[in-house]
Amino acid sequence: MPGTKRILRLDASANPAESNSQKLGDYLIRQLKQANSTVETRTRNLNQELSFVDSNWIAANFTAREERNADQSARLEFSDQLITELNWADHIVLTTPMYNFGVPATLKAWIDMVCRAGVTFRYGANGAEGLLKAKRVDIVVTTGGAPLHSPADFVSGYLKHVFAFIGIDDVNIIGADQMNVDAQASFARATAQIEQHYPAVAA
């Protein structure tokens, strides 16, 4: 339907039943739905259907599409599917905890599947060029003790860089950091950031 907002939701917490980042993602999507009359949402739990880059995957990706054999095409199928989802969406909501100062391995595996030479980025005369266009990303990041944007934060800057690399510059980080210090204050900070971007619409 024209005018429909297409939201791809990606959840990276390994603990979905009690995930604070997912609770905040739920809230963000509720606010987005209020602000947009027609919203279509697809959700991907990054803990399911994992796939990692290996030598066969790399060889397949560096073989021209029309020259790939059936095995090579099959090896790229999951990556193709993830990129199709990204292309479909005009708004991405990513929820992720910090694990050991970086992103969960599941999220890194997703990143490795969607950063595809010749598909989502290419190198030209001016260096790297991202090939995805006109998309916004909201990223909810939770941490236990590390303050976001501190030297211990290898999540927010990294994710901004990766999305810009594939062409998505409109990246908004919603921080619910230091949950183990004061969870209530963390939630309050994050919900205030969400409401600042997506204010509730009066009925």
Ligand X SMILES: Cc1cc2nc3c(=O)[nH]c(=O)nc-3n(C[C@H](O)[C@H](O)[C@H](O)COP(=O)(O)O)c2cc1C
Write out the residues near ligand X by the rule CB under 6 A.
Answer: 13, 15, 19-22, 97-101, 142-146, 179
Question: Least separation, in Å, of the C-beta of 185 and ligand X?
Answer: 13
Q: Which is nearer to ligand X, 15 or 81 (CB)?
A: 15
Q: Which is nearer to ligand X, 25 or 82 (CB)?
A: 25
Question: Least separation, in Å, of the C-beta of 187 and ligand X?
Answer: 10
Q: Which is nearer to ligand X, 147 or 199 (CB)?
A: 147
Distance CA 150, CA 105 (A): 21
Closest CA to 91 of 44, 131, 130, 39: 39
Distance CA 146, CA 179 (A): 9
Question: Least separation, in Å, of the C-beta of 180 and ligand X?
Answer: 6
The bridge status of strand 127-130 relative to strand 39-45 is unpaired
Closest CA to 25 of 110, 156, 138, 182: 138
Question: Least separation, in Å, of the C-beta of 168 and ligand X?
Answer: 22
CB 8 within 8 A of CB 92: yes
Q: Which is nearer to ligand X, 101 or 123 (CB)?
A: 101
